[in-house]
Homo-oligomer: A and B are copies of this chain.
Amino acid sequence: MTHEPSLLLALDLAGTFAFGLNGALTAVRAVRLDIVGVISLGMVTALGGGIIRDILINALPPATFRDWRYLSVAAGGGLVAFAAGRWWDRLMMPITVLDALGLSLFAVTGSSKALGYGLGVGQAVILGAITGVGGGTLRDVLIQRVPTVLTSGLYAIPALVAAAITVATTREGVYGVPAALGAAAACFVIRMVGVRYGLNAPRPRGVSPE
């Protein structure tokens, strides 16, 4: 098993920043909270996935609370969103792009760290998806939206793809910077294509919703 702690840390911090910005922008645009609410929602979104991952693999206290860089980067993302929120409105889909970025990076780091803690192959893939999906799910629950992972089929699937690539390349001994970036890129592209064309996974047939 190759240990790449600095790669894991770099990807984790990049995902943390993307999700911190995303969560805080969501707060600014959708709920219009004050600065504490904006930064809190940014931090929950940024840190939620990694904390859930670290609880489930028994890596407590979570990395978030062992390494001050996580808290700083998450709060930094929230501050940027608070300060620059009005400019973001003119950009194309920044919230969705940031969310796809965080999803992709965390799917890689979640599955990689799960393998490092001795979990099985299938479990590591699912833990990667949970890590990618966790922060955004907490964000949606807190602001009373049905979480994206439930409503958009092409949200969990790209995360599972990135996690599967990470696990497969680790097992083959070829995991490293190129594999990690490739896995994240695959997830990002699938997710953004899904958003652009409104793609969804198959729905159940013949059932009329209540």
Contact = CB atoms under 8 A, between A and B. Distances in A.
A200 B38 CA distance: 13
A62 B33 CA distance: 32
B142 A142 contact: no
Contact of A61 (B33, B57, B71, B141): B57
Interface stretch (A153-161, A167-175, A181-189): A153-161
Contacts of A127: 65
Contacts of A120: 65, 68
Given A30-B210, A56-B60, A68-B120, 20 more contacts: A31-B146, A32-B203, A33-B150, A33-B151, A33-B203, A34-B153, A35-B202, A36-B149, A36-B157, A36-B201, A38-B204, A58-B60, A60-B60, A65-B126, A68-B122, A71-B123, A85-B206, A86-B204, A86-B206, A144-B146
Interface of A: 27-38, 40-41, 51, 55-58, 60-62, 65, 68, 71, 82, 85-86, 89, 117, 119-120, 122-123, 126-127, 137, 141-144, 146-147, 149-153, 155-157, 200-207, 209-210
26 contacts: A28-B207, A30-B209, A31-B150, A32-B207, A32-B209, A33-B150, A34-B200, A34-B201, A34-B203, A35-B203, A35-B204, A36-B149, A36-B153, A36-B157, A37-B151, A37-B153, A40-B149, A56-B60, A61-B119, A61-B123, A65-B123, A65-B126, A68-B122, A85-B207, A86-B207, A143-B146
